[in-house]
Structure 1
Amino acid sequence: MKLQSLGAICVLIILTVGLLDGCVEPPESMIHWTQVKDSIQAIYAPDKRVAWFDVELKQDGKQLLLSGVTDQQEALQVLLSKLHDAGETVVNQVTVLPDSSVGDMRYAVVNNSVCNIRSEHRHSAELATQALLGMTLKVLQRLEEWYLVQSPDGYISWVDHGGVQLMTGSEQLKWSKSPKVVYLRNYGNAYGDTQGTTVLSDLVLGDCLVRRGTVDGMVEVQFPDRRIGYVPIDEVADFRTWRESVVPSGELVVAYAQSLLGSPYLWGGTSTKGMDCSGFTKMAYLMNGYIIPRDASQQVHAGTVVDPNLTFEGLEKGDLLFFGRAATDSTRQRVTHVGLWMGDSTFIHSSQQVRISSVDSNALQYDEFNKNRYLGSRRYLGTMVGISHWY
């Protein structure tokens, strides 16, 4: 019995020591370097949707082990320099994107009318965003049949191999320099013959294809994977001519927005097949020649502030209206919805479907819910703050 009691005591001591060992706090140096890493991340990659700096530090004996993944090489160099200047011995195992899995295929050109870009490398993952036919994506990593890509608006997510055509730098340059047409209908088709009897692919507003010539009232086009198709000549325009003729204006933004009325709401959608609130504003501005940030919570930081007093005064057609939860003493502002100002107290937005609402309490389309959570507006026209030109 005494031996059994002694054994129980020994086991209890071992368990207690083990528990205490698991509760040991990291040394002050690790706390310090974690704070340094976090401060670097806040500068170079504050928004993981458009910049990755997933770096971890671990004490490994007398050395620091760095692991993780980043596309911000400069940020990693800043961290390494600080560690080396402090005399730390560092083992750097951080993967820098694009990584070696990409090889020479550093670009992926969208090969379907719309390609779905997901938050994770599986088909059941959340739809993060979309990209249109002919758009070039940067490839950051390859994982079997999935590619981690960055879209023209900076968004980083995953696309499956069926939606894109991989290209080398020289192939992508040739594609970008080739004469193109832009599709100007909300929906349509490219055909496998000049009679339009065999559908080769569907098309949506904003799709771009290489122009090869005209045959019997059809434009002969080439897809990124070199398929040849034919599109009715009155449904497309020469991209360069169209782009140079577009004069961005509030009237034109609203015109494109209104052409999308009734389009279904689709979380993550940015095309006429379906769009969420920010995908809708993004599409209206794309057809005015602008690439704007992807999400409403990003769009609110672009352009210039208008209507700071939240009175719906001084707004112009095409201004972006933002809605959500106002900041409090304990919480930050949270933008969850966006629409486009049309004038006359009305705005157009994607909510259930693309529709028009009013902030006038006497109007038939009065939207009390959104009026009560209005956070402010931004003007993109006349400024390039946070936005860029399409090609």
Structure 2
Amino acid sequence: MKKIIFLFACLLAFMATGLEAQEIQPISADSAYGVVHISVCNLREEGKFTSGMSTQALLGMPVKVRQYTGWYEIQTPDDYTGWVHRMVITPMSREKYDRWNRAEKVVVTSHYGFAYEKPNEHSQVVSDVVAGNRLKWEGNKGHFYKVSYPDGRQAYLSKSISKRESEWRASLKQDVESIIQTAYSMIGIPYLWAGTSSKGVDCSGLVRTVLFMHDIIIPRDASQQAYVGERIEIDPDFTNVQRGDLVFFGRKAMVDCKEDISHVGIYLGNRKFIHALGDVHINSFNPKDSDYDEFNTGRLLFAVRFLPYINKEKGMNTTDHNPYYN
């Protein structure tokens, strides 16, 4: 029996290796682009499940396909690259990709929800959905939108958790207070390395997810976010930092090495900031506060003011100005 179990384990290992070590195949014109068709898609550093996760992409997100080995190497609208399993995106020609981008969408506005086979929440679930997911609008049915996925599936999405993209964009607020309110709505969501969705976020993923819910795309990593917009050297009394500024943490520059950015949060005013570490929560730079964060206060570097530079600086734009969506 032990021998049989050993041989079976070896067979499984061989099959897994064979699936993950395929040669690069040519990308045809019919598969040079693609759209994510699951709620949250994990991008990995290599084309295998055992590889570390580098970021995530969301349902309805247009991507470019760079290579295919049984896995796709894709590039996302923030110009991040990674490998995804072939079952999570729908490859497309440029023509189909453009048609998808031009079609009216329904945007998921709640952190979590489900799409159903019928316009009835007691019917069969087609998939889960998370904030920022985009599906093609096919019509209305009572309190539901009829929608279709990039891979052709159809479903019904409650109007209570979503909005037609044209209406959503018309009512969208991109001011500091609205963005901070969205950040508050994510309190308690668990930390997930490389996470950029309501299911879990890392520190820069929190910033990216909050802003994406306001139709804003910024660079993915804290080390990239730190060098956009306007850098602000923080005064000891924090009077020159505004609500909504990003605050960065890490190691200060030294004679023989550059500064190293390792963490980011959103400044809330009154020396408070919200960030993802363990989970999404609020801490203070003030030693007198009960939520004082001595560790992060000790490695605070500077702040960045970014909102005035959206659609004015490379790497920061709204989807209607992003080349992947247009």
TM range (shorter): 0.7 to 0.9
What corresponds to 1:235 in structure 2? 161
User: Relative to 1, partners in 2 of residues 1:216 and 1:276: Cα closer, same or farther, differing over 3 Å?
Assistant: same
On the 8 A contact 1:102/1:139 being kept in 2, the answer is no
What corresponds to 1:187 in structure 2? 112
On the 8 A contact 1:102/1:140 being kept in 2, the answer is no
How high is the sequence identity, in percent, across the aligned residues? 37
Q: 2:233 aligns with which of 287, 301, 307?
A: 307
Q: Distance in 1 between matches of 2:92 and 2:73?
A: 14
Q: Distance in 2 between matches of 1:101 and 1:175?
A: 20
Greater gyration radius: 1
Q: For residues 67-78 of structure 1, what are the structure 2 equivalents within 5 Å?
A: none
CA RMSD of aligned residues (A): 1.5
What corresponds to 2:54 in structure 1? 128
Q: Distance in 1 between matches of 2:233 and 2:25?
A: 45
Query: Is 1:376 matched up with 2:305?
Result: no
> Structure 1 residue 247: deviation in Å?
2.9
Query: Is 1:349 matched up with 2:275?
Result: yes
User: Relative to 1, partners in 2 of residues 1:210 and 1:295: Cα closer, same or farther, differing over 3 Å?
Assistant: same
> Structure 1 residue 102: deviation in Å?
4.0
Q: For residues 146-185 of structure 1, what are the structure 2 equivalents within 5 Å?
A: 146-185=71-110
What are the superposed Cα offsets for residues 86-113 of structure 1, whole Å, 9 maximum, x if unpaired? Answer: xxxxxxxxxxxx9943443111101000
On the 8 A contact 2:234/2:241 being kept in 1, the answer is no
User: Relative to 1, partners in 2 of residues 1:164 and 1:341: Cα closer, same or farther, differing over 3 Å?
Assistant: same
On the 8 A contact 2:25/2:69 being kept in 1, the answer is no
On the 8 A contact 1:310/1:376 being kept in 2, the answer is no
On the 8 A contact 1:119/1:127 being kept in 2, the answer is yes
- Tell me the amino acid that sits aligned with residue 189 of structure 1: F
> Structure 1 residue 203: deviation in Å?
0.4
Q: For residues 282-361 of structure 1, what are the structure 2 equivalents within 5 Å?
A: 282-309=208-235, 311-361=237-287
What corresponds to 1:140 in structure 2? 66
User: Relative to 1, partners in 2 of residues 1:253 and 1:279: Cα closer, same or farther, differing over 3 Å?
Assistant: same
What are the superposed Cα offsets for residues 240-290 of structure 1, whole Å, 9 maximum, x if unpaired? Answer: 221232231111111111100000000010000001000000011112221
What are the superposed Cα offsets for residues 156-176 of structure 1, whole Å, 9 maximum, x if unpaired? Answer: 111111111111111011111
* Structure 1 stretches of at least 4 aligned residues deviating more than 3 Å after TM superposition: 307-311
User: Relative to 1, partners in 2 of residues 1:373 and 1:102: Cα closer, same or farther, differing over 3 Å?
Assistant: farther
> Structure 1 residue 315: deviation in Å?
1.5
| Secondary structure, counterpart of 1:213 in structure 2 | strand
On the 8 A contact 1:285/1:291 being kept in 2, the answer is yes
> Structure 1 residue 138: deviation in Å?
0.5
Q: Which runs of 5+ in 1 are unaligned?
A: 1-97
> Structure 1 residue 309: deviation in Å?
4.4
Moved more, 281-290 or 101-110: 101-110
What corresponds to 1:275 in structure 2? 201
Moved more, 245-254 or 217-226: 245-254
TM-score normalised by structure 1 residue count: 0.73
- Tell me the amino acid that sits aligned with residue 388 of structure 1: N
What are the superposed Cα offsets for residues 38-71 of structure 1, whole Å, 9 maximum, x if unpaired? Answer: xxxxxxxxxxxxxxxxxxxxxxxxxxxxxxxxxx
User: Relative to 1, partners in 2 of residues 1:99 and 1:375: Cα closer, same or farther, differing over 3 Å?
Assistant: farther
What corresponds to 1:389 in structure 2? 318
| Secondary structure, counterpart of 1:315 in structure 2 | coil
Q: Distance in 2 between matches of 1:278 and 1:150?
A: 18
Count residues with an aligned counterpart.
293
- Tell me the amino acid that sits aligned with residue 292 of structure 1: I
Q: Distance in 1 between matches of 2:194 and 2:301?
A: 22
Q: Which runs of 5+ in 2 are unaligned?
A: 1-23, 321-326
Q: Distance in 1 between matches of 2:261 and 2:68?
A: 33
TM-score normalised by structure 2 residue count: 0.87
